[in-house]
Amino acid sequence: MSATTTAPARAGLATSIAIVGGLFFILGFFTWLNGPLITFVQLAFDVSEISAFLVLMVFYLSYFFLALPASWILRRTGMKKGLALSLVVMAVGALAFGQFATWRIFGGALASLFVLGGGMALLQTSVNPYISILGPIESAARRIALMGICNKVAGILAPLLLGTLVLHGVGDLAAEAAAADAATRDALLSDFAGSIRGFYLVMSTLLLLAAVAILFSPLPEVRAEEANAIPAGAGGGDRRSIFQFPHLWLGVLCLFVYVGVEVMAGDAIGTYGHAFGLPLDQTKFFTSFTLAAMLLGYLVGLALIPRFVSQERWLSVSAVLGVLFSLGALLTEGYVSVGFVAALGFANAMMWPAIFPLAIRGLGSFTQMGSALLVMGIAGGAIIPQAFAVLKQYYDFQWVFAALMVPCYLYILYYALRGHRAGLPAGR
């Protein structure tokens, strides 16, 4: 049975895609705030670069710890109530972060980001499999690419808004604070920290309004066990355990390394550029360059998949580009090297849209559990950038960057060529 036939007739496919696109916009906005937020946290809380990178670690580890509980919650609430609940949790986390930042309580701010990430884990666990099985699984990458455009448009706007409204003049402020006495420095940083409260208050309010809108939306339920199953007798329809799907587990690792390289290219690019001595007032906007490259990658993917190239073939091309751009960043310096890092956004663009549907293909009643495991793989965004922040204290940052990125892209290439077929019947 196709996924489209399981959806109630009262909600058209276009309406469902538009609603889910709005949710991906929300995901993108809060995900890609993390890059400039590292700059904010390091200055506002007066902490080291390694400590500032805890923003990424705490945020992305929340996916690891909360994705499975999210799948259990969704089984109880159903999709619409679960989606609304996820937005409420995100609103609480956003409101708390703004308050703890104003008070300059670093632990409280990190805990708030964990809560925010928990709401996003609940949202991710639901919307990704939903959009994957809303139509034929073979064209899922195309639908997810459309969602990715919504995600990355929000991601481009997020650092621009935060950079303009909160981080305006951050380079001059950092220099002024460094030259001031202790009391003046504390006053300057307290005023700076408090400037983010209004930004997050507005975001929290919008999230609550979105939660109410979802409850009253025509978004239908889609039954994964009917829409995404290998037919009985086809070599996989009678599987009784999640451990009987090796392509899923290889996909979890693939998503882990993918999110790691995505965050490195998007959120760590400002730190990478600053290591060349580039000014903070420029590096705070570098995340937007990576996301612009990702947006271009999504548009190319939409044009090519699946009409001219399969999602797995384009995944392999993207992995090769990732290796080449990483080596380009290593072999150049300054703005050119940063340009290669930003170009990784193009290579990364179609990876999530390809990996996720390939990994959940044929899971049937295990689709929600498999999706939760894949969302746990988002923890790669915590581990790999933190390794970069630590190792660059002891070794050349360009070599550290390449040493982390190239092996990840090589594994993605393996999954594209062979791993996604592991354990599946021939022809799947």
DSSP readout, 68-116?
Answer: HHHHHHHHHH-HHHHHHHHHHHHHHHHHHHHHHHHHT-HHHHHHHHHHH
| Any domain includes 230 | no
Give the residue from 227, 54, 255 showing the smallest Cα distance to 134: 227
Q: In the structure encoding, which two tokens stand for residue 366, read together?
A: 């295990």
Decide if 425 is inside a domain.
no
Q: 141 falls in which pLDDT band (50, 70, 90)?
A: low
Q: Supply the pLDDT for residue 276.
A: 92
Q: How many CB atoms lie within 10 A of CB 333?
A: 11
CATH (domain of 310): 1.20.1250.20
Torsion, Cα 304 409 380 367, to 10 degrees, reads 50
How many Cβ atoms from other residues are within 10 Å of residue 393's Cβ? 11
Question: Once rounded to an integer, what is the mean pLDDT over residues 115-126?
Answer: 90
How many CB atoms are closer than 10 A to CB 202? 13
Comparison of pLDDT for 256 and 164, the residue scoring more: 256
What is the pLDDT at residue 8? Answer: 41
Alpha-carbon span 325 to 340, nearest angstrom: 5
**Domain assignment of residue 365, yes or no:** yes
* CA separation for the pair 375, 67 (Å, rounded): 6
Helix (H, G, I), strand (E, B) or coil at 229: strand
Q: Is the pLDDT of residue 228 over 60?
A: no
- 235 inside domain: no
Pick from 195, 179, 167: nearest CA to 104: 195
In a domain, 248, yes or no: yes
Find the range with the poorest average confidence among 193-207, 359-373, 408-422. 359-373
| Partners of residue 229 on adjacent β-strands | 363
What would the two tokens of residue 309 be? 């190239």
Q: Is residue 227 part of a domain?
A: no
233 pLDDT more than 50? no
pLDDT tens digits for range 310-342 = 888 999 999 999 999 999 999 999 999 999 999
Please say whether the beta carbons of 352 and 258 come within 8 A: yes
Residue 379 contacts residue 330 (beta carbons within 8 Å): no
Mention every residue, 6+ apart, whose C-beta is less than 8 A from residue 202. Answer: none
Query: What confidence tens digit (pLDDT) does each residue in 68-101 have?
Result: 898 888 888 877 888 899 999 999 999 999 999 9
Round the average pLDDT of the chain to a whole number and report it.
86
List the domain range (segments joined by +) for residue 211. 3-222+242-420
Amino acid found at 235: G
Question: CB neighbours (10 Å) of residue 297?
Answer: 27
Predicted structure pTM score: 0.79
Q: Does a structural domain hold residue 426?
A: no
Look at the chain and report how many structural domains it folds into.
1
Please check whether residue 302 is in contact with residue 353, taking contact to mean a CB–CB distance below 8 angstroms. no
Instruction: With beta carbons less than 8 A apart as the criterion, state whether 359 and 252 touch.
Output: yes
Angle between helices 246-266 and 380-391 (to 10 degrees): 50
Cβ atoms of residues 240 and 377 within 8 Å: no
Residue 7 included in any domain: yes
Q: Is 78 left (phi over 0), alpha (psi -120 to 50) or beta?
A: left
